[in-house]
């Protein structure tokens, strides 16, 4: 094999996409859900009367930002998993068509 072909093969192997382990996705989703729940709990316990004093705004603002970020992360994870599922289903369907056409 030529040196150029070997380098090309090595680059293809090194740059192959790698899917994260399934447990990582579940842990990330669980962590984001916990953050979102804690933020909602913090906001529920907050009193409107405390709104008059700006020194009391820090915790609710942090809870809003954290909850919004966690919610956005959950939406992105769900969207990615749905897209991935559709890709796999499409791949299976294409392979099945190829198999049945060849017969």
> Which domain does 85 fall in, by range?
20-102
Residue 88 · residue 53 · CB < 8 Å? no
- Please tell me the total count of domains within the chain: 1
pTM confidence score: 0.58
Whether 68 maps to a domain, the answer reads yes
Domain assignment present for 1: no
Instruction: Judge residue 33's burial from the number of C-beta atoms within 10 Å of its C-beta, 0-12 exposed, 13-18 middle, 19 or more buried.
Output: middle
Q: Quick one: pLDDT at residue 34?
A: 93
The answer to whether 43 and 57 are in contact (CB under 8 A) is no
pLDDT in tens, 4-42: 668 888 888 888 887 778 788 889 889 999 999 998 888
Number of residues assigned to the chain: 103
Asked if residue 4 belongs to a domain, the reply is: no
Of 62, 65, 12, 67, nearest to 39 (Cα)? 67
pLDDT at 3: 63
With respect to residue 8, please indicate whether it lies within any of the assigned structural domains: no
Per-residue pLDDT reduced to its tens digit, 33-54: 999 999 888 888 777 777 788 8
Domain annotation covers residue 13:
no
* pLDDT tens for each residue of 62-87: 888 999 999 999 998 888 888 888 88
């Amino acid at each position: 094999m030529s040196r150029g072909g070997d380098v090309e093969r090595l680059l293809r192997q090194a740059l192959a996409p790698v899917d994260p382990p399934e447990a990582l996705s579940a842990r990330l989703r669980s962590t984001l859900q916990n953050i979102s729940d804690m933020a909602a709990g913090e906001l529920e316990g907050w009193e409107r009367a405390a709104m008059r004093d700006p020194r009391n705004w820090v915790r609710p603002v942090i809870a809003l930002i954290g909850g919004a970020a966690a919610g956005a992360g959950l939406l992105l994870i769900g969207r990615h998993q749905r897209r991935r599922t559709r890709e796999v289903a499409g791949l299976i369907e294409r392979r099945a068509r190829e198999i049945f056409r060849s017969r």
